[in-house]
Structure 1
């Protein structure tokens, strides 16, 4: 299938490569991480640990991460998927059974990747070490979305861009919004 914005050949090659070159054991680990990230469970758990163990820094990091995650989910799943109705990669491109367990919604962009990148990126300014720990499962989620046949690589790249934009907006909100609009809220950057 050739996409209207010219990514068909690249998407086809990269999707097939990711689906067929990841060893079965690695694929199972990726699937477990993705399952943990389903419905943002992994990121909520990470935020809880940060808030419980990191003091003020942990609370700020957790709040920023969760705020960015929500914004990214609304943008990717609530807006972009409704505007861009892109079908999932063809099942015949995926040489394993995971392709049967994928959503019916639009493929563009990857909401899982948007949430993972938004959370991790928004945490980084307050607690770089925690963000570094979150970066590995975030990357694993992005890879799994292509490996499983749920998304094209360009869907994952677009999800990452949405996540980066959401994190940027959340981290910049205190500087963008006049403080009088949100009385009594203490912002930390």
Structure 2
């Protein structure tokens, strides 16, 4: 947990959160979800019925895993091998956001029990499964809202947006492909997609923007290992701010 001391005499004090919550984006996603509720069934039918070359669907199936375990492991290896320690530590914040988002998505799915497209209408909500009697519904039939794939993709996209601004739009495009794929392959209703994105963005923004994973490890380390250790989070915050400055600085 050793780090280079932060020199407050030459730099502005670092405060958290690093950036404000993207409220306009969240309101926009909520509005999109509200509109999609009105056209869930016809839009789902159209997207599933569109005929495209087989290779296109294969690529979509690949891209819909953005934010899932394989892509998480790949990004972890790349960041660990290519980035300095301060940026590596953002993996703690990213990992915490993934864990919280996954749990919350599961809880919401079980509370709403929305039926998936192949097994009913978008207006069928079964409610909390564990308190209903004689209800034989498998996971592949229910649990449509929200899309946990989109939520996980939103977490990764938000992490890229904050920590790696030079490739932030790559994450946005991949997230959009995840949403299209989940509807295309009948896993979700269209309105499940923006709701999943909202969940992932909010949790990721709270965890990564406030460096909750890094600060949690700081707390554990200084409590149980070395009480005199300097916290790592100021260096992580400074590294993120430098990434943002270099992205916005004009080329020399």
Give TM-score scaled by structure 1 length.
Answer: 0.75
Work out the CA distance in 2 between the residues paired with 1:174 and 1:92: 41
Question: Counterparts in 2 of 1:23-102, with a 5 A limit?
Answer: 23-24=52-53, 25-34=55-64, 36-37=65-66, 39-56=68-85, 58-77=87-106, 79-90=107-118
Greater percentage in helix: 1
Contact 2:90 2:211 in 1 (8 A): no
Report how many aligned residue pairs link the two structures.
172
Closer/same/farther in 2, CA of residues 147 and 26 from structure 1, 3 Å limit = same
Give TM-score scaled by structure 2 length.
Answer: 0.58
Closer/same/farther in 2, CA of residues 142 and 14 from structure 1, 3 Å limit = same
Work out the CA distance in 1 between the residues paired with 2:207 and 2:61: 29
Work out the CA distance in 1 between the residues paired with 2:165 and 2:155: 14
CA RMSD of aligned residues (A): 3.0
Instruction: Report which structure shows greater RCO (CA 8 Å, sep ≥6).
Output: 2
Q: CA deviation at 1:66?
A: 2.4
1:163 corresponds in structure 2 to 200
Work out the CA distance in 2 between the residues paired with 1:164 and 1:60: 19
Contact 1:30 1:140 in 2 (8 A): yes
Return the index of the structure with the highest Cα Rg. 2
Work out the CA distance in 2 between the residues paired with 1:45 and 1:104: 31
Q: Report Cα offsets for 1:60-106 as digits up to 9, x if no partner.
A: 343333222222111112x111111000013699xxxxxxxx93341
Q: CA deviation at 1:168?
A: 1.4
Work out the CA distance in 2 between the residues paired with 1:137 and 1:125: 16
Question: Unmatched 5+ residue regions in structure 1?
Answer: 94-101
Closer/same/farther in 2, CA of residues 8 and 154 from structure 1, 3 Å limit = closer
